[in-house]
DNA sequence: CGATCAATTGAAATCGTTCAACTGACGTGG
DNA sequence: CCACGTCAGTTGAACGATTTCAATTGATCG
């Protein structure tokens, strides 16, 4: 992660502020510019024909995106107010001739992104709604977790609709799944932008009727 | 596509034959080798915890895969008997220092793969079963289409289970969807490894009761 | 403080899944 | 060359998770 950050320092980049909701680039546009996210959260997405939207990835500070030489194959939008540094892809490549490690780092990041997406697909196609959520929150905890994993406190930079479109659920389903997880004690909500995981990184064996917190205080029978 | 093929000629590669079903590499393994597919069909996949499997991509002759420097983030398996040329990733990279266009081509291919997967996700999460199939067949026609698109004839290198796992359907659902498409006249089957699309690249507005072939020969009313 | 958009809740409908049984294709060995 | 076993694909019926539609509550920002 830190490798490339220093390397790109040698490439002239322009620092930009973008407001929440702003489109950074749109699918089909010619490429040429790439970005490093400095603060905030960005989403990559595919906009379907019927107004459907699939969010492919949430990006967090330190991550690079838009590294591509022909047409944009996804759209990028600001989830929150963000700061990015914008580079000309051409210049990054020129620099990489002198510094092979830049190429290596770019490749590593590309294949990492691919792997994340691959697993994302596997999860959203094979897990029921509430397990998708648990998986998502644990993933957030590991990635966006500035606070440290142990506490289980997650500040959500995105709204529920974004989460729904990331997990391929309807907002109503997300809402119900959240409630169920809250009721069963897997998580607690503080406002609707903060979630507290009770058991971070648990692979939950949740079946209808199971109760997590109940163990202590619900009388048997 | 042809760009890189000539470039890799300069890198020593070993030609291999692999039998159908053989694992080329497995998720979690250290990387170091990359491949060009010469003949046959390869699948990239993620194997879920419950024995579930999500096929991420089908690859066809000319395509590169396994371009990655740390751990494998997906598995690769031979869908049919295949021939591949195996390269040491390190040597490809060394070559790329002298030839910047190699880097560019590798980047293009990586981002193309990412885009394909992104759209794949969008489709399998937003389309009903029979439209996924139509989309898949049209996609096959464009990619594996050695015959030329116009005829609509598709030789399937993979079995129905592979297709089901690619489209995130159960075999039963796939079977039923296929039958429905056959009945409504969108496609015909010759054996179970050949499919003929009646209207290649149609965005079908199929609703229960609609008939495609009926227009010409079914009397009104 | 009101307007607007996001999130919640309920009830009904739908599509895909599940389970189970059956059919068909294919390859092996007699 | 045929019989058999095995595995892939098919079909039916019941089930269930998610979606849909509709109405309500709740947040957020001028």
Question: Which tens digit of pLDDT belongs to each residue from A73-125?
Answer: 999 999 999 999 999 999 999 888 878 888 899 999 999 999 999 999 999 99
Chain A residues touching B112 at Cβ < 8 A:
73
Contacting residues of A for B118, CB less than 8 Å apart: 44, 46, 54, 56, 73-74, 117
CB B80, CB B157: distance < 8 Å: yes
Work out the minimum CA distance from B12 to partner chain A, whole angstroms.
20
* Residue B172 Cβ < 7 Å to strand C: yes
What is the token pair recorded at B24? Answer: 């080329």
- Å separating the CA of residue B117 from the C1' of nucleotide D25: 39
CA proximity to A200, closest of A157, A150, A148, A127: A150
Q: How many CA atoms lie within 13 A of B73 on its CB side?
A: 21
- Taking contacts as CB-CB distances below 8 angstroms, the residues of chain B near A70 are 108, 111
Of A129, A128, A192, nearest to A157 by C-alpha is: A192
Quick one: pLDDT band at residue A151, thresholds 50, 70, 90?
Answer: confident
| CB A20 within 7 Å, strand C | no
Angle at B14 between CA B12 and CA B18, to 5 degrees: 155
Task: Show which residues on chain A lie within 8 Å of chain B, measured between beta carbons.
Answer: 44, 46, 48-50, 52, 54, 56, 67-70, 73-74, 93, 96-97, 100, 103-104, 106-108, 110-122, 124-126, 168, 203
Strand partners, A171: none
pLDDT at A218: 35
List the one residue out of B93, B82, B88, B102 whose CA is nearest residue B30: B88
Partner residue facing B74 (CB), from A93, A115, A126: A115
- Under an 8 A CB cutoff, do B110 and A112 touch? no
Average pLDDT over residues A142-165: 84
Contact A68 B107 (CB under 8 A): yes
pLDDT at residue A165, rounded to an integer? 98
Q: Which residue has the higher pLDDT, B201 or A212?
A: B201
Name the nearest CA neighbour of B74 among B140, B23, B12, B131: B23
| Interchain contact, A125 vs B126, CB within 8 Å | no
Contact by Cβ (8 Å): A110, B64: no
Of residues B6 and A161, more confidence is placed in A161
Instruction: Give the residue-averaged pLDDT of A154-177.
Output: 97
Say whether A103 and B121 touch across the interface (CB within 8 A).
Answer: no
C-beta separation of A119 from B49 below 8 A: no
Give the model's pLDDT for residue A147: 58
- A147-156, A178-187, B57-66, B203-212: segment of lowest average pLDDT: B203-212
pLDDT, mean of residues A148-164: 88
Contact present, B166 and B58 (Cβ < 8 Å): yes
Q: How far is A145 from chain B (nearest CA, A)?
A: 22
What three-state secondary structure class fits B110? helix
pLDDT higher at A182 or A201:
A182
- Confidence (pTM): 0.90
Contact A124, B125 (CB under 8 A): yes
Query: Is strand C less than 7 A from the beta carbon of A178?
Result: yes
Tens place of pLDDT for every residue, chain B, 221 residues?
444 566 687 899 999 999 999 999 999 999 999 999 999 999 999 999 888 999 999 999 999 999 999 999 999 999 999 999 999 999 999 888 878 888 899 999 999 999 999 999 999 999 999 999 999 999 999 887 655 556 889 999 999 999 999 999 999 999 999 999 999 999 999 988 999 998 766 554 444 334 443 333 333 32
The pair of three-digit structure tokens given for residue A12, joined into one six-digit string: 């002239």
Element (H, E) at A218: none
Q: How many residues does this entry show for chain B?
A: 221
Whether B124 sits inside 8 A of A126 (CB atoms) is no
Contact: B93, A103; criterion CB under 8 Å: yes
pLDDT for position B146: 57
How close, in Å, is residue A148 to chain B by CA atoms?
25
């Amino acid at each position: 992660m830190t490798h490339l950050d220093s390397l790109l320092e040698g490439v002239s980049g322009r620092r930009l502020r973008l407001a929440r909701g702003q489109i950074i680039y749109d699918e089909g546009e010619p490429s040429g510019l790439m970005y490093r996210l400095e603060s905030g959260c960005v989403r990559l997405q595919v906009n379907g024909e019927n107004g459907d939207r699939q969010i492919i990835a949430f990006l967090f500070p330190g991550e690079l995106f838009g590294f591509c030489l022909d047409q944009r194959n996804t759209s990028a939008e600001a989830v929150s107010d963000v700061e990015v540094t914008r580079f000309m892809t051409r210049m990054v490549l020129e620099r990489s001739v002198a510094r092979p490690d830049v190429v290596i780092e770019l490749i590593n990041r590309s294949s990492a992104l691919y792997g994340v997406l691959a697993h994302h697909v596997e999860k959203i196609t094979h897990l029921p709604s509430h397990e998708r959520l648990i998986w998502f929150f644990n993933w957030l905890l590991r990635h966006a977790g500035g606070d440290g994993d142990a506490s289980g406190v997650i500040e959500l930079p995105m709204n529920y609709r974004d989460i729904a479109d990331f997990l391929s659920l309807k907002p109503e389903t997300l809402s119900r799944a959240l409630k169920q997880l809250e009721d069963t004690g897997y998580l607690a909500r503080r406002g609707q932008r903060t979630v507290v995981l009770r058991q971070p990184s648990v692979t939950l064996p949740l079946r209808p009727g199971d109760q997590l917190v109940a163990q202590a205080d619900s009388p048997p029978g």
